[in-house]
């Protein structure tokens, strides 16, 4: 393994841990002493992605990760959750065992998982993926998200506290002179 700091090929493994993503190794460069981590994953058969215009290109995990990160920008989603989401999509594609997959399938899998993780991220992703032409398309996507499965807001905090029915108003009142 090449050191990312000095480029030396001579490193030693300090620690090895197995995780869902693969094998994590903590390494140390024998030349400069820098420590760094590596992640080893099983290389799977390469998949080709069939684009909407009929072109094909090799599946890119990084491209999918970048699209989902963009959709999740400034949202309360931890980086590990985004990586897990991409792992799930990639695993699902591998399980299907096809040499070629469509961008439609990848997009639908991503939107399915994003709709469960964060609704705003889902709408952001859908607006690019589905190429909304106008605000009506956008509104239909929002309405579909509200009406679709898992549309309950369980687990989400209320934006405003519930209104009290009847009784006197909350807070301090001033006496008028």
On the question of pLDDT at 78 being above 80, the answer is yes
Sequence ranges of the domains in the chain: 11-40, 48-146
Among the residue ranges 6-15, 19-28, 115-124, 126-135, the one predicted with the least confidence is 126-135
Mean pLDDT of 2-25: 89
Mean pLDDT of 81-98: 91
CB 47 within 8 A of CB 100: yes
Cα four-point dihedral sign 37, 43, 44, 47: positive
Dist CA 12 CA 95 (whole Å): 35
Dist CA 139 CA 161 (whole Å): 26
Confidence of residue 154 (pLDDT cuts 50, 70, 90): very low
3-class DSSP assignment, residue 129: helix
On the question of pLDDT at 22 being above 90, the answer is no
Q: What is the pLDDT of residues 30-46, one digit of tens each?
A: 999 999 999 887 666 68
Per-residue pLDDT at 163: 59
């Amino acid at each position: 393994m090449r050191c990312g700091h000095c480029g030396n090929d001579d490193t030693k493994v300090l620690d090895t841990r197995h995780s869902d993503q693969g094998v994590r190794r903590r390494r140390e460069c024998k030349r400069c002493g820098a420590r760094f981590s590596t992640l080893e994953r099983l290389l799977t058969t390469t998949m080709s992605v069939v684009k909407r215009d009929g072109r094909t290109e090799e599946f890119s995990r990084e491209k999918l990760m970048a699209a989902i990160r963009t959709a999740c920008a400034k949202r309360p989603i931890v980086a590990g959750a985004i990586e897990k989401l991409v792992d799930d999509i990639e695993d699902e594609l591998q399980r299907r065992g096809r040499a070629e997959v469509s961008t439609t399938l990848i997009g639908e899998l991503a939107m399915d998982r994003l709709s469960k993780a964060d609704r705003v991220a889902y709408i952001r992703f859908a607006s690019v993926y589905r190429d909304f032409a106008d605000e009506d398309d956008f509104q239909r996507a929002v309405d579909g998200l509200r009406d679709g499965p898992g549309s309950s807001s369980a687990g989400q905090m209320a934006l405003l506290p519930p209104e009290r029915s009847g009784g006197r108003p909350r807070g301090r009142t001033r006496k008028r002179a």
